[in-house]
Amino acid sequence: MRELAVVTHDYKELEISYGDDALLLVIAAGFLERLLSRRPIEQFLATGHLEVLETFRGVIAAVSLEAPPAAA
């Protein structure tokens, strides 16, 4: 019974922090999208830091997949 209480408590903690975490992720993805929209920055990352560039693009893509469809 104690284990169930611990799991329930942990679940509620996760549920509470999820909204904050999701908001921070959306904000970070927006920043990365604006950053990569600057051609010199994107070129710099593409020439010397391709792994970082791909990671940034992956974050942007993941967040855009989570976005709810726009109302018609």
Contact 3, 30 (CB under 8 A): no
CA dist., res. 27 & res. 21, Å (int): 10
Whole-number mean pLDDT of the chain? 90
How far from chain centre, in Å, is Cα 4?
31
18-34 tens-digit pLDDT: 988 999 999 999 999 99
pLDDT tens sequence across 37-48: 999 999 999 999
What residue ranges do the domains of the chain occupy? 25-66
Report the pLDDT value the prediction gives residue 19, as an integer from 0 to 100. 87
